Amino acid sequence: MSERKPFIVGIGGTTREGSSSEQALAMALAFATAQGAETRLYGGTDLQLPMYDPDPGMMTDAAKGFIEDLRRADGVIIASPCYHGGVSGLVKNAIDYTEEMRADPRVYFDGRAVGAIGCGYGYQGPGMVLSQLRQIGHALRGWNVPLGVAVNSAVVKFSNGECSEPAIAKQIEIMAGQVVNHARRFMD
């Protein structure tokens, strides 16, 4: 096993400061850090990238840095709010940038553990988003960890790194642990 720490990239949130999806993602990365991982959060403001354009001359420095971190990542955790029954455009656009990894030796998320968190105001939406994120992880050749987390933000509240529902916090912790453990297995 490698001596280096697994590097886990978190992608998600909204442009609204303190969004449930970004706070859930930050909590997951905090759990990953506690389990020995190095982490990098790409939250809502970091994801305000131009619409993905495959023209190499169109890549901003922020987008290039994002892709370089994904190339280096051993695991990825994606958290999205539910917008009208699906993954938000902000998160989906960020995911579309992985097209830059299409010709890499490790294509897209190949050989990377992928965790997913779906958030929404109600019970139906978070499950739909969670399912979509897991399908996206699979389509990008990633290894979805067994546990995905659906967060009903009408009931579950986040504040200062804490979650109002211990059962949801535990699910986030387990999922983050699965990402870290599976990432270690994939490391050279």
Buried b (16+ CB within 10 A) or exposed e, 162-171: ebeeeebbeb
Note whether residue 54 is domain-resident.
yes
What is the spatial distance between Cα 20 and Cα 165, in angstroms, rounded to a whole number?
13
Note whether residue 2 is domain-resident.
no
Per residue in 129-158, pLDDT (tens digit) is 999 999 999 999 999 999 999 999 999 999
What is the spatial distance between Cα 176 and Cα 179, in angstroms, rounded to a whole number?
5
Note whether residue 15 is domain-resident.
yes
Which has more confidence, 76 or 160? Answer: 76
CB 90 within 8 A of CB 47: yes
Note whether residue 142 is domain-resident.
yes
The confidence score (pLDDT) of residue 188 equals 61
Q: Is the pLDDT of residue 35 over 90?
A: yes
How many folded domains does the chain comprise? 1
Note whether residue 58 is domain-resident.
yes
54-67 average pLDDT score? 91
The confidence score (pLDDT) of residue 133 equals 98
What is the spatial distance between Cα 26 and Cα 5, in angstroms, rounded to a whole number?
18
Q: Count Cβ atoms below 10 Å from residue 92 Cβ, excluding itself.
A: 17
Note whether residue 32 is domain-resident.
yes
Tell me 102's DSSP state: T
Q: Is the pLDDT of residue 15 over 80?
A: yes
Note whether residue 82 is domain-resident.
yes
What is the spatial distance between Cα 11 and Cα 108, in angstroms, rounded to a whole number?
14
- What range does the domain containing 32 cover? 7-186
CATH number for the domain spanning 157: value is: 3.40.50.360
Pure H helices in the chain: 20-34, 61-72, 89-96, 124-139, 166-186
**Average pLDDT of the chain to the nearest whole number:** 95
Characterise 44 by phi-psi region: left (phi > 0), alpha (psi -120 to 50), beta (else).
alpha
pLDDT tier, 18 (very low <50, low <70, confident <90, very high otherwise): confident
What is the spatial distance between Cα 85 and Cα 89, in angstroms, rounded to a whole number?
12
pLDDT tier, 2 (very low <50, low <70, confident <90, very high otherwise): low
Q: Is the pLDDT of residue 182 over 90?
A: yes
pLDDT tier, 69 (very low <50, low <70, confident <90, very high otherwise): very high
What is the spatial distance between Cα 157 and Cα 148, in angstroms, rounded to a whole number?
18
The confidence score (pLDDT) of residue 57 equals 81
